[in-house]
Amino acid sequence: MDEHERVPTKGPRALERRLGNRARLREEVSEGLRDLMRKRRIGKAALARRAGCSEETVERVLEGSYSFTIETLADLSIALGRGVHVVFGADAEEMRLPHDEAD
C-alpha cells in the first residue's frame, strides 16, 4: 500500500478489513499455541490448570473463535513457558503475532 493511500476507517470495506485482520490474528495465535502445546506435550486440561483458566477457554482460543483478552493470551503463553512478542507491519495486512520457533 502506498503511504499516501487512505485506509478506509468507516463503512463496509473498513469493517470487512478489521474483521478479516482479527480472524487472521486469532488464527495465528491459536496455531502458535497448538504448536507449543505439541512441542511441550501439554494437553488442554493441563494448560488450563497452569494458566488458571477453564478448559473451555483454552478450547475456544484454540478453535480461533474466541475473542480473548491480552491477559488470557499472556497467561496461556506463560503457562507454556513463553512470552508474547507482537510485531506491527507497515500495513494492517502484514500484522503478525509470531510464536517462538526455537525448539
Q: What tens digit of pLDDT does each residue of 72-100 get? A: 999 999 999 998 887 776 554 544 444 54
Predicted local confidence at residue 85, as pLDDT: 81
Domain ranges, ordered by start, for the chain: 12-94
Task: Give the model confidence (pLDDT) of 24-58 as tens digits.
Answer: 888 888 999 999 999 999 999 999 999 999 999 99
Question: Taking residues 10-28, what's their average pLDDT?
Answer: 74
Give the CA distances from residue 30 to residues 10, 55, 57, in Å, rounded to whole numbers and listed in that order: 28, 14, 12
Q: Which region, left, alpha or beta, applies to residue 82 given φ > 0 means left and ψ of -120 to 50 means alpha?
A: beta
pLDDT of residue 68: 87
* pLDDT value at residue 60: 93
Which homologous superfamily does the CATH classification assign to the domain defined by 12-94? lambda repressor-like DNA-binding domains (1.10.260.40)
Residue 23, pLDDT score: 83
